[in-house]
Structure 1
Amino acid sequence: MHGALHKYFHWGAIASLAALIVWCLLWEMLVAPLHPGGSWVALKAVPLLIPLYGVIKRDVYTLQWSSMVILLYFTEGVVRGYSDTQAHSALMAWGEAAIVCVYFFCAVLYLRPYKQAAKRMAKELLAKVNPTK
């Protein structure tokens, strides 16, 4: 993969993760809180801070596990997008799902060359260990 494109996927992952943190806070505190003045649901943004440093530092392991965990936020976005009766809240939910999609695809596409290299190395190692195959 071209180096510049790879860099864009990294920056896309950082930007979308940061955007999701801000989006969740705005949604639950200002735009469409469950209770006037905000709610404890805004704390759902806190777990997103855990992978942020690793994503910024290009930690492959962090990008791998966070791309799976982030799907919980996608699920919430879709469920609340269909079920919330307030239009503002439903719109925020669909926005959450969209931001998660951006993060997921950026993370997966950033990780793709690493996965290909790991497969290649495993194949070479297997060929050394078992030269008859």
Structure 2
Amino acid sequence: METKSQKFFHRGAIASMMLLILWCIAWEVWLAPLKPGGSWLALKAAPLLFPLAGIIKRDVYTLQWTSMVILLYFTEGVVRGWSDIGTLSAWLGWGEALIVTVYFICAVMYVRPYKKAAKQLTKDLLDKVNRVNSAK
């Protein structure tokens, strides 16, 4: 059973991932492309489409690995935010970093109770094995 906070974080993860996909496409095609008329760099949004179904389905494993992969987009946002000084592209870079931060927090907070439960199950199992071994 999901708590209200887990539902909130799940919705936040979905919304921020979808926003990041749209942000990357709009940035590289219309708002501030590297070349006039759009750039192939818009394809950076394509890898984000693959985990989207798993995120929507609440797949804990998908939320875990995407919380690590998404940090590449954070890095890109920070680098372009620092290097494209005074341009729209710089602001878009900082926006990308912010969206990624929101996704990361939402994904980690959604997965947290599952990780705690898994640790408790592991501890219980090890305690049971130790009791059986000490009884021999």
Settle same-fold status: TM greater than 0.5.
yes
The answer for the alignment partner of 2:13 in structure 1 is 13
Across the aligned residues of Structure 1 and Structure 2, the Cα RMSD in angstroms comes to 1.3
Q: Could you say what secondary structure the match of 1:66 adopts?
A: helix
The answer for the alignment partner of 1:78 in structure 2 is 78
The answer for the alignment partner of 1:107 in structure 2 is 107
For the residues of structure 1 that align with 2:70 and 2:81, how far apart are their CA atoms? 17
The answer for the alignment partner of 2:49 in structure 1 is 49
The answer for the alignment partner of 2:130 in structure 1 is 130
For the residues of structure 2 that align with 1:68 and 1:129, how far apart are their CA atoms? 34
Identical amino acids, percent of aligned pairs: 66
Q: Does 1:95 align with 2:95?
A: yes
Give the superposition deviation at 1:111.
Answer: 0.2
The answer for the alignment partner of 1:68 in structure 2 is 68
Question: Structure 1: any 5+ residue segments left out of the alignment?
Answer: none
Give the superposition deviation at 1:50.
Answer: 0.7
**Poorly superposed stretches of 4+, deviation over 3 Å:** none
Q: Could you say what secondary structure the match of 2:51 adopts?
A: helix
Q: Could you say what secondary structure the match of 2:50 adopts?
A: helix
For the residues of structure 2 that align with 1:27 and 1:94, how far apart are their CA atoms? 12
In structure 2, give the amino acid aligned to 1:74.
F
Question: Structure 2: any 5+ residue segments left out of the alignment?
Answer: none
Aligned length: 132
For the residues of structure 2 that align with 1:12 and 1:119, how far apart are their CA atoms? 25
In structure 2, give the amino acid aligned to 1:119.
K
- Rg larger in 1 or in 2? 2
In structure 2, give the amino acid aligned to 1:81.
G
For the residues of structure 2 that align with 1:52 and 1:66, how far apart are their CA atoms? 10
Give the superposition deviation at 1:85.
Answer: 4.0
Q: Could you say what secondary structure the match of 1:55 adopts?
A: helix
For the residues of structure 2 that align with 1:51 and 1:84, how far apart are their CA atoms? 29
